[in-house]
């Protein structure tokens, strides 16, 4: 299967935003109609979408539910959702609402059994977020840095039945510094679980390089600010990903 390109929609107070390094005080607003943005991505050819409830990530529970439901209602493809999903009830609720995959971050570090239980209950539907700053796992909206390495966290879920690992280099996210391809590939090679790359993608060249590492276990790539700033054309990215 070719590399999946996930355009990102990050939600803050119902608006489409991008943060710099996960800092809520460094948000750039790109629109106030998330569902319309989702449709623009669909019209460019996207079959997958990555949505993050930023307020939820910090609060520990959904804060942009209406916006997420509006996106799911209009986007014709698969929606992957993260941000504040830390209870069985929230996981079940989002699958019932039509979300294709749920991303679990903070709870994966604090309660690995929760991830295992959800992966068993929803086969193919659970993604574990491995958010790292200088190689160490960051949690609670990236506000806290743990003493657990990204690779160690990933390996805990080798036999858990999770669909993928979403690896983000927090220090690059939203800065257009370039995706940390080396660390992403290293993680993919260290585990048998497919890995999705995220954080800092700035152009088509990285899409091509990541697509070439599809055989190493890189399943997909998430891109946000580069699309919104016009540095990356989504249709071109999808074409490059499919051709590699």
- pLDDT per position in the chain (244 positions), as tens? 899 999 999 999 999 999 887 788 999 999 999 999 999 999 999 999 999 999 998 888 999 999 999 999 999 999 999 999 999 999 999 999 999 999 998 888 889 999 999 999 999 999 999 988 888 888 765 567 778 899 999 999 999 999 999 999 887 665 677 899 999 999 999 999 999 999 889 999 999 999 999 999 999 999 999 999 999 999 999 999 999 8
Tell me the average pLDDT of the chain: 93
Q: What local confidence, expressed as pLDDT, does residue 140 receive?
A: 64
Q: Which of 53, 131, 169, 173 is catalytic?
A: 131
Helix boundaries (H) for 25-180: 34-43, 54-59, 65-74, 88-96, 106-110, 112-121, 150-155
Which overall architecture, per CATH, does domain 4-243 show?
Answer: Alpha-Beta Barrel (3.20)
The answer to whether residue 131 is catalytic is yes
Q: What is the pTM of this model?
A: 0.94
CA–CA gap between residue 77 and residue 43 (Å, rounded): 11
> What's the token pair of residue 81?
């959702």
10, 55, 169, 173: which is the annotated catalytic residue?
A: 10
The whole-number pLDDT of residue 93 equals: 98
- pLDDT (0 to 100) of residue 143: 61
Percent of the chain with pLDDT strictly greater than 90:
78
Q: Are 9 and 15 in contact (CB under 8 A)?
A: no
């Amino acid at each position: 299967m070719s590399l999946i390109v996930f355009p990102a929609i990050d939600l803050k107070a119902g608006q489409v935003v991008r943060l710099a390094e996960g800092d809520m005080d460094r948000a750039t607003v790109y629109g106030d109609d998330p569902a319309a943005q989702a449709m623009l991505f669909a019209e460019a050819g996207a079959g997958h979408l990555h949505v993050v409830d930023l307020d939820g990530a910090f609060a520990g529970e959904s804060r942009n539910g209406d916006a997420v439901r509006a996106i799911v209602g209009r986007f014709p493809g698969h929606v992957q959702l993260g941000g504040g999903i830390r209870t069985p009830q929230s996981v079940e609720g989002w699958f019932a609402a039509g979300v294709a995959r749920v991303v679990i971050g903070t709870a994966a570090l604090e309660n690995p059994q929760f991830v295992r239980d959800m992966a068993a209950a929803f086969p193919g539907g659970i993604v574990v977020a491995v958010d790292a700053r200088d190689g160490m796992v960051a949690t609670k909206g990236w506000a806290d840095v743990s003493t657990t390495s990204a690779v160690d966290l990933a390996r805990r879920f080798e036999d858990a039945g999770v669909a993928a690992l979403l690896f983000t280099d927090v220090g690059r996210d939203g800065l257009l510094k370039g995706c940390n391809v080396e660390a992403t590939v290293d993680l993919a090679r260290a585990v048998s679980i497919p890995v999705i790359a995220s954080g800092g993608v700035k152009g088509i060249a990285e899409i091509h390089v990541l697509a070439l590492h599809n055989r190493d276990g890189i399943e997909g790539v998430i891109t946000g600010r580069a699309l919104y700033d016009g540095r990356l054309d989504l249709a071109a990215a999808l074409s490059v990903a499919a051709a590699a």
